[in-house]
Structure 1
Amino acid sequence: MHKLVEYSDSDDESADEKQRVDFTPEELIVVDGQESKKDQASEAGELDSHQGRIRSFPHERGNWASYVCIPVPYSDDFEELSASLTEILRASCTQHSFHAIPSPHISLTRTLKLRHHWLADLTQGLLQMCSLYKQFYISLRDVQVYTNDEKSRTFISVKVVSGDDHLTSIVHKLNSLLTEYNLPPFYQEASFHVSLCSCVHDARVALTPVMSKLQNAVDEWIRDNPECAFFSVNKLLWKAGNKETWLSLDVS
């Protein structure tokens, strides 16, 4: 099954590379309370690879672009799928220039405008919240196409087809916590997915004849890599600027 989807005009784009915000040049990564330095060259490469992405809000000193997501396991295999889909798109949808999206993940919040002095308390709240949830499984299958609100970018994605009830419950709690900081909630009717390719402009009409090819490629990839399409979730990633914190779920 494949669908063409757009978000309502009341929603901003999330961390799923939609309206991705340039991060401030902080270098620290925090992983389970441990800090380390991030390679500046790696960060520079990330900032150079926007490929048409736009800011969801202007950069202001002291504000960090932040979000919660689930990085997918077997990222190398997902990147191979991204490359395969991109090859199909470049051959069959020549009026648009598609690019693979790095670091595939499932977004659980929008991109948030976080004040630096909120970081410690909000991180502690997220850690406590996630400890109340047990690990769970999700599966991916259906190709879907998404656009951002401005119709300035189009995304080829693979949708979560089971486990979304767990994700919905987590998002509900995340929304409650974010409300305490006057931060916006996630979409009212979230469609959880992993975005793999994107292009600038609204390409939905041009993509209609290509959807079957894309779904066939995903189905073949799933047959060859079943562990990639069905996996356990035992932690979330909280990224604030360039600081990363793993939010562990209950695995007992």
Structure 2
Amino acid sequence: SSLNLLNEYESDDEFRENQQQENSSTRLPLPNSLKILSSQDIKDDPENHEGRIRSYPHQRGNWNSLIYIPYRRNGPFDLLCDQIIELCQPKIEMKRIEEPHISLTRTFILLYHWIDNFVSAVKKSLCTMLRYDVQFDGLKIYCNEEHTRTFLSMSVGFGKMEITKSVQLLDKCLSEYKLHPFYSEASFHMSFLWCLGDKKKELEELLPEMNKVFETNLSDSF
């Protein structure tokens, strides 16, 4: 009706008042994705990471990434860790790696807007692979390129061919983004203990004893 039309029509004063209220209203929160990108630079503090140091500084919009095979810990594995930590004390303070895994790529950097497409490409590539088993056949020692950390690892025995195929497929995905492929002379392994500094020589002296502990705990249990 005409009365309804009159009621809905605002006067100039009402219009200005409503505009002021809208202008002073609370802004909508940023989406989580933009919050992440607009956050402050992360400062590296080794004290927060048990003395570990970043290989390169964190930059906003860059995501340090890694593709790997996760390991499900079990009783024999935990016992092995305890015995080797005790064997190395007090000379070397070994610490557990919280999420042991077999790396299929180097650590690489993805730009934020690459992530979804990259993940889709990886899934599409690996879906051609059948599920496979992996077994370990002994212990090896590795030191990172910066010589800031040393790792005790289980070397892969059974399953090398399948892992190699997985790495080849992933290398193709990485190449599309001009990212480095995996090491040409790959030594597939799963690091499970670590210590600060370059302690490779000291640990190699203990390696025969540590391998005995590994064999005693039934290597095929891992």
TM-score range, shorter chain: 0.7 to 0.9
Partner of 2:178: 182
Q: Residues of 2 paired with 1:73 and 1:99: CA distance?
A: 18
Q: Which secondary structure does the structure 1 equivalent of 2:113 belong to?
A: helix
Runs of 5+ in structure 2 lacking a partner? 1-31, 34-45
Match for 2:56: what amino acid? F
Aligned mate of 2:211, from 197, 205, 215: 215
Partner of 1:19: none
**Cα deviations by residue, 1:67-113 (Å, 9 ceiling, x for unpaired):** 1111112356434422322121124xx1x322111111111111111
Partner of 1:51: 50
Partner of 1:197: 193
Q: CA deviation at 1:152?
A: 1.7
8 Å CA contact 1:138, 1:161 repeated in 2: yes
- TM superposition outliers: structure 1 runs of 4+ over 4 Å: none
Match for 2:72: what amino acid? P
Q: Residues of 2 paired with 1:118 and 1:172: CA distance?
A: 20
Q: Which secondary structure does the structure 2 equivalent of 1:151 belong to?
A: coil
Distance 1:50 1:127, change over 3 A: same
Question: Taking structure 2 as the reference length, what is the TM-score of the superposition?
Answer: 0.74
- Is residue 135 from structure 1 mapped to residue 135 from structure 2 by the alignment? no
The root-mean-square deviation of aligned C-alpha atoms, in Å, is 2.1
Partner of 1:105: 101
1:239-250 alignment to 2 at 5 Å? none
Q: Which secondary structure does the structure 1 equivalent of 2:53 belong to?
A: coil
Partner of 1:64: 63
Kindly indicate which of the two structures has a greater share of residues assigned to helix.
2
Match for 1:83: what amino acid? D
Question: Taking structure 1 as the reference length, what is the TM-score of the superposition?
Answer: 0.66
Q: CA deviation at 1:193?
A: 0.8
Q: Residues of 2 paired with 1:84 and 1:117: CA distance?
A: 45
Match for 1:104: what amino acid? P
Match for 1:59: what amino acid? H
Distance 1:98 1:156, change over 3 A: same
Partner of 1:151: 147
Match for 2:130: what amino acid? K
Partner of 1:88: 87
8 Å CA contact 2:55, 2:146 repeated in 1: no
Q: Residues of 2 paired with 1:55 and 1:72: CA distance?
A: 24
**Cα deviations by residue, 1:126-154 (Å, 9 ceiling, x for unpaired):** 11111100111211021100011122211
Aligned residues: 179
- Is residue 126 from structure 1 mapped to residue 125 from structure 2 by the alignment? no
Q: Residues of 2 paired with 1:80 and 1:65: CA distance?
A: 32
Distance 1:83 1:131, change over 3 A: same
Partner of 1:78: 77
Distance 1:196 1:178, change over 3 A: same
- Work out the percentage of aligned pairs sharing the same amino acid: 32
Q: Which secondary structure does the structure 2 equivalent of 1:78 belong to?
A: helix
Q: Residues of 2 paired with 1:164 and 1:152: CA distance?
A: 28
Distance 1:49 1:166, change over 3 A: farther
Partner of 1:20: none
Q: Residues of 2 paired with 1:220 and 1:166: CA distance?
A: 27
Runs of 5+ in structure 1 lacking a partner? 1-26, 29-46, 230-252
Higher relative contact order (CA 8 A, sep 6+): 1
8 Å CA contact 2:126, 2:169 repeated in 1: no
Partner of 1:243: none
Q: Which secondary structure does the structure 1 equivalent of 2:190 belong to?
A: strand
